[in-house]
């Protein structure tokens, strides 16, 4: 391994066997020297810090806040379950939308992960889901009970931490135990009683109880002495069975009785719902007069239930305690990145900085007044409910958080566009913790581990990493777990290919170069953040596999090039790039997909900023692909008139076979240009193209007063799932790439990486 300064990287790489041979000279692009438009972006409206945005509580070192119960309501016929977490903290409603169905709604911890999810009982048939967000479906638990008049009950009766199913009728309890699927019958109560189940003494197993006209009778089992109770509470001992019966008045006959652990002490206590509006929570049999009253009106048809607030107040309201505990361990392995400093000294970077600043003004104002207006004051917003698709919901917020984090960590942001540094930090953390909270690694049923999610996780994950010293303990946990789980998923499935070795198209008209290249960013970020993790070598190997495959060309099947110890000619199952470095997508040679080569250089730069050796595979064919934008000439015909090079003077883009996403997208290319100015060969003139695209983007933005870049309609940009946030992310990445040389030099790793497997091992994400 060798340590190189940024100034020497391009020269060293250009001389290696990984880069292209000589290329034709390129005419110098014209720069946009016209005066800036008179229209300027107006400052953001008043941006006070929304309640709860900046702070989320921190778990005391060495102690874990126990999961607490939370009021909930549900309507089986509509499938809507709502859990009101936040007792002891800011209230937060989580809505779970199940398919409409018949029967009685339930909430239970069906898989023992510490968080309650929907269930239902329908005339002896039991159904459940283990998801708490997303689009869950009903799964069958089989049948138990079903006689007229039976009431469903669930509890931890056999002590295996998996719920046991039961039915109650006329004082008879019929249980089906989860441990061995056997039946158990118990007798307690009488006809007309309402059954309740709970852990009255905190021993980890549930006991029985009944409520009769406002009087509670709770059975304590396995006790040798009377439980401590308040005055007015009766205790009847049965020494021969080590049982105590506690009888206490609580509520009136018309109240709905419920039980839960309302304060996280591990003990379940009574609660009642009165008049469909008022929840009265008891502190227990020994503090009968101490109660907490909550006002949460029920709507017509809603059934009151008890849900869970997975972890402590201020934490992610949908996080599984099991997942959060694992995530906290993962976060302890994270090393913060090196400090980087951006500069406007080089051409184009002043325009980039101004574009990102005004773009953040647009994103924040739009989120506050339109996109996330109804959730602005929530400590965590329900990201998955914002838009119809997860790509729009998650990627937009990830892009905004990334841009904010880049500016906070690499520039002297004090107050720009009426947005203070504290407000920008609060906004970034809010976006970041909300989307990381709802990732599948943290929340059951959450987003992730799917197509493109590795890219979203990397975008958000880089934001969290850059702000690492500003995050709370649980925010760090969610970010680290999100990144690590996406990296693991990428490692498991292996790279995919556009063509076989014989040239047969596997996915006609659509290269997998973009998907493979964005996938590799997740293991690269995981390796950069957690180089000491036991999975680090797997992540390093995965980066090498995907980097080799991402832009593999037909000649790579015969050229005997060895990269990180891998003879790619012998091991590549197929290819993704055309021989001249162009990328085919949507059935055309598509510049918008050629620019995805930035994923290789982005990954390399994240490793570099962590002082982690960068596998040489991350530079395989990268310069050749970038040349498809800057050097390769397209003759007309057969290509569209006027022909020539993709990059035109003044920042314009030529599309040889037509436009897919819009004809005015210079912001899309600023990121790849900035990285190319670090890593591509000098004759690509990346720095000059960067300046042209940066100036063109800034000029487009200055047509408006709100900080947006694009005109209405689809002519300039047709990406409907967050085009402004995507442009913001690309220009912010360009700024960050410009700051990379201020940090550690590149350590190029040419060593043999053991176990590299270039074959596809599973379906695409």
Q: CATH 1.50.10.20 residue ranges in the chain?
A: 2-35+324-749
Could you tell me where the beta strands, DSSP code E, fall in 451-600?
499-500, 562-563, 566-567, 574-575, 584-585, 588-589
Whether residue 572 contacts residue 557, with contact meaning beta carbons closer than 8 Å, is answered with yes
- Higher pLDDT residue, 165 or 380? 165
Kindly tell me if the per-residue pLDDT of 14 is higher than 60.
no
Kindly tell me if the per-residue pLDDT of 302 is higher than 60.
yes
The mean-pLDDT minimum among 289-303, 348-362, 720-734 falls in: 289-303
pLDDT of residue 95: 85
Kindly tell me if the per-residue pLDDT of 416 is higher than 70.
yes
How much is the pTM?
0.88
Q: Which two tokens stand for residue 475?
A: 């925010």
Could you tell me where the beta strands, DSSP code E, fall in 324-481?
415-416, 419-420
Banded pLDDT at 300 (limits 50, 70, 90): confident
Residue 637 CB contacts under 8 Å (≥ 6 apart), including other chains: none
Mean pLDDT computed over 619-648: 97
pLDDT of residue 185: 97
Give the position of tokens 């498991």: 492
Model confidence over 169-193: pLDDT tens digits? 999 999 999 988 999 999 999 999 9
pLDDT of residue 722: 97
pLDDT of residue 374: 86
pLDDT of residue 701: 97
Kindly tell me if the per-residue pLDDT of 30 is higher than 60.
no
Banded pLDDT at 50 (limits 50, 70, 90): very low
Mean pLDDT computed over 475-493: 97
Model confidence over 234-273: pLDDT tens digits? 999 998 889 999 999 999 999 999 999 988 888 999 999 9
β-strand partners of 172: 169, 187
Tell which residue, 458, 474, 484, has the closest CA to residue 405: 458
Model confidence over 567-583: pLDDT tens digits? 999 999 999 999 999 99
Model confidence over 306-349: pLDDT tens digits? 998 777 667 888 888 889 999 999 999 999 999 999 999 999 99
Banded pLDDT at 48 (limits 50, 70, 90): low
Mean pLDDT computed over 292-302: 89
In words, the CATH class of domain 71-308 is mainly beta
Model confidence over 728-747: pLDDT tens digits? 999 999 999 999 999 999 99
Q: CATH 2.130.10 residue ranges in the chain?
A: 71-308
pLDDT of residue 61: 43
Model confidence over 80-106: pLDDT tens digits? 999 987 676 666 778 889 999 999 999
pLDDT of residue 89: 62
- Higher pLDDT residue, 710 or 13? 710
pLDDT of residue 377: 78
CATH classification of 2-35+324-749 is 1.50.10.20, yes or no?
yes
Model confidence over 105-141: pLDDT tens digits? 999 999 988 889 999 999 999 999 999 888 789 999 9
Q: For the chain, what is the mean pLDDT? A: 90
Torsion of CA 655, 659, 661, 666, to 10 degrees: 30
Kindly tell me if the per-residue pLDDT of 58 is higher than 90.
no
Whether residue 135 contacts residue 79, with contact meaning beta carbons closer than 8 Å, is answered with no
Percent of the chain with pLDDT strictly greater than 70: 91
Whether residue 311 contacts residue 324, with contact meaning beta carbons closer than 8 Å, is answered with yes
Torsion of CA 674, 677, 679, 684, to 10 degrees: 120
pLDDT of residue 318: 87
pLDDT of residue 38: 52
pLDDT of residue 2: 31
Banded pLDDT at 63 (limits 50, 70, 90): very low
- Using DSSP's 3-state secondary structure scheme, residue 58 falls into coil
Cis peptide before 642 (omega within 30 of 0): yes
Mean pLDDT computed over 370-394: 90
pLDDT of residue 19: 33
Tell which residue, 275, 277, 279, has the closest CA to residue 306: 279
pLDDT of residue 316: 87
Model confidence over 583-595: pLDDT tens digits? 999 999 999 999 9
Kindly tell me if the per-residue pLDDT of 1 is higher than 70.
no
Mean pLDDT computed over 208-220: 97
β-strand partners of 197: 208
pLDDT of residue 719: 96
Whether residue 452 contacts residue 446, with contact meaning beta carbons closer than 8 Å, is answered with no
């Amino acid at each position: 391994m060798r340590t190189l300064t940024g100034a020497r990287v391009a020269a060293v790489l250009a001389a290696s066997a990984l880069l292209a041979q000589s290329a034709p000279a390129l005419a110098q692009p014209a720069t946009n020297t016209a005066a800036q438009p008179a229209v300027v972006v107006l400052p953001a409206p008043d941006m006070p810090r929304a309640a709860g945005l900046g702070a989320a509580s921190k778990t005391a070192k060495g102690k874990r806040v126990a999961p607490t119960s939370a009021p909930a309501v549900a309507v089986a016929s509509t499938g809507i379950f709502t859990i009101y977490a936040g007792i002891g903290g800011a209230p937060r409603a989580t809505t779970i939308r199940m398919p409409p169905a018949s029967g009685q709604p339930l909430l239970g911890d069906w898989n023992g992960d510490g968080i309650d999810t929907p269930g239902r009982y329908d005339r002896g048939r039991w159904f459940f889901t283990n998801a708490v967000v997303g689009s869950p479906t009903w799964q069958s638990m089989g049948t138990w009970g079903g006689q007229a008049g039976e009431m469903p009950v669930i509890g931890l009766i056999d002590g295996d931490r998996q719920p046991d199913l039961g039915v109650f009728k006329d004082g008879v309890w019929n249980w089906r135990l989860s441990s061995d699927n056997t039946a158990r019958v118990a007798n307690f109560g009488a006809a007309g009683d309402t059954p309740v189940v709970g852990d009255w003494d905190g021993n980890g197993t549930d006991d029985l109880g009944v409520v009769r006209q406002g009087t509670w009778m709770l059975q304590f089992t396995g006790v040798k002495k009377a439980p401590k109770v308040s005055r007015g509470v009766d205790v009847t001992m049965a020494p021969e069975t080590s049982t105590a019966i506690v009888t206490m008045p609580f509520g009136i006959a018309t109240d709905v009785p419920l039980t839960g652990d309302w304060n996280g002490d591990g003990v379940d206590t009574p609660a009642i719902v009165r008049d469909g509006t008022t929840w009265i929570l008891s502190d227990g049999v020994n503090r009968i007069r101490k109660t907490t009253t909550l006002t949460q009106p029920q709507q017509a048809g809603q059934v009151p239930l008890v849900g869970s607030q997975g972890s402590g107040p201020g934490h992610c309201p949908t996080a599984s305690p099991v997942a959060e505990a694992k995530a906290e361990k993962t976060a302890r392995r994270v090393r913060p990145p090196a400090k980087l400093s951006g500069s406007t000294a080089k051409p184009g970077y002043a325009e980039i900085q101004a574009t990102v600043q005004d773009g953040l003004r647009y994103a924040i104002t739009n989120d506050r007044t339109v996109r996330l207006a109804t959730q602005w004051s929530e400590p965590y917003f329900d990201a998955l409910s914002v838009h119809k698709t997860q790509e729009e919901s998650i990627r937009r917020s990830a892009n905004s958080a990334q841009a904010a984090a880049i500016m906070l960590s690499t520039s002297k942001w004090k107050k720009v566009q009426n947005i203070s540094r504290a407000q920008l930090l609060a906004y970034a953390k809010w976006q970041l913790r909300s989307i990381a909270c709802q990732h599948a690694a943290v929340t059951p049923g959450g987003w992730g581990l799917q197509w493109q999610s590795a890219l979203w996780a990397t975008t958000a994950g880089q934001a969290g990493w850059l702000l690492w010293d500003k995050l709370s303990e649980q925010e760090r946990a969610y970010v680290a777990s999100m990144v690590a789980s996406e990296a693991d998923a990428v490692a498991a499935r292996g790279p995919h290919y556009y063509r076989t070795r014989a040239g047969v198209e596997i996915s006609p008209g659509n290269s997998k170069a973009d998907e493979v290249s964005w996938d590799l960013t997740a293991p690269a970020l995981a390796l950069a953040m957690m180089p000491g993790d036991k999975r680090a070598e797997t992540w390093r190997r995965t980066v090498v596999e995907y980097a080799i495959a991402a832009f593999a060309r037909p000649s790579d099947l015969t050229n005997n090039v060895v990269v990180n110890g891998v003879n790619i000619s012998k091991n590549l199952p197929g290819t993704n790039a055309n021989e001249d470095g162009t990328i085919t997508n949507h059935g055309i040679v598509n510049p918008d997909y050629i620019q995805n080569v930035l994923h290789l250089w982005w990954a390399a730069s994240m490793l570099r900023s962590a002082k982690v050796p960068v596998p040489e595979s991350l530079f395989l064919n990268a310069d050749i692909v970038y040349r498809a934008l800057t050097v390769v000439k397209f003759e007309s015909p057969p290509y569209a008139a006027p022909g020539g090079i993709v990059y035109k003077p003044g920042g314009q883009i030529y599309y040889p076979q037509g436009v897919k996403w819009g004809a005015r997208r210079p912001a899309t290319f600023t990121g790849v240009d900035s990285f190319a100015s670090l890593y591509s060969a000098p004759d690509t003139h990346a720095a000059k193209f960067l300046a042209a695209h940066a100036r063109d983007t800034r000029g487009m933005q200055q047509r408006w007063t709100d900080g947006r870049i694009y005109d209405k309609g689809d002519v300039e940009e047709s990406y409907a799932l967050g085009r402004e946030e995507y442009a913001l992310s690309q220009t912010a990445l360009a700024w960050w790439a410009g700051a990379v040389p201020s940090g550690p030099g590149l350590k190029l790793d040419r060593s043999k990486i053991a176990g590299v497997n270039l074959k596809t091992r599973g379906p695409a994400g």
